[in-house]
Amino acid sequence: MRNLIFFMHTSLDGFVGGPNGEMNWITINDEIFDLVDTMTPNADTALYGRVTYEMMQAYWPTAADNPNASRHTIAHAAWYSQVNKVVLSTTLSQEGLVNTTVIGDHLADNINDLKNRDGKDILIFGSPRASHSLLKEGLVDEFWLFVNPVLLGQGIPLFKDVPAITKLNLIETKTFACGVVAMHYQKQIG
């Protein structure tokens, strides 16, 4: 069975976006990108909510064409062009999408079917509303939380509508020079 791995930046007080979804408080640098670059080769499917998917589609297909593109941008753009994309949306049409599948209903059945197929891991980057839906159904197997040294006070919560008790095992932590701390957890089975 393939793992569904959740990647999310969060504030120290547990928000993944400001009140209007602002993300200008997130610290991303080459050190963090280097960590992510070690994980993407182990995944052949990227899962997004509609808003994040549209943001990714607007950037990654041509990002490597910029003459000043970083090593990370070139690597991630190549991965993005090849990876199977799955979008959780009730409003996005499947028509005309390339290498992309839209899941609009029967979330647990569809995601479990995807996890049971042969292949590599499934990654979900950001996508707070889609992540909330996956968490509510208990479908996330691993968590990478990038805790940024900032307090937002309000905004989009990291966790919402999770099952009453979800026990996790801490696998590893990594502290970056910029003050971000990455914590890798795996859901306990049984």
Dihedral of CA atoms 60, 97, 111, 120 in degrees, nearest 10, equals -50
Can you read off the two tokens belonging to residue 115?
């996890």
Is the confidence at residue 155, as pLDDT, over 80?
yes
Q: Tokens 């990714």 map to which residue?
A: 56
What's the whole-number mean pLDDT along residues 171-184? 97
| Predicted local distance difference test score (pLDDT) of residue 190 | 67
Q: Choose which CATH entry (3.40.1230.10, 3.90.190.20, 3.40.430.10, 3.40.50.300) describes domain 7-15+28-176.
A: 3.40.430.10
Q: Tell me the percentage of the chain whose pLDDT exceeds 90.
A: 79
| Predicted local distance difference test score (pLDDT) of residue 65 | 95
| Predicted local distance difference test score (pLDDT) of residue 88 | 94
What's the whole-number mean pLDDT along residues 8-23? 93
Residue 181's nearest CA partner among 21, 172, 137 is 172
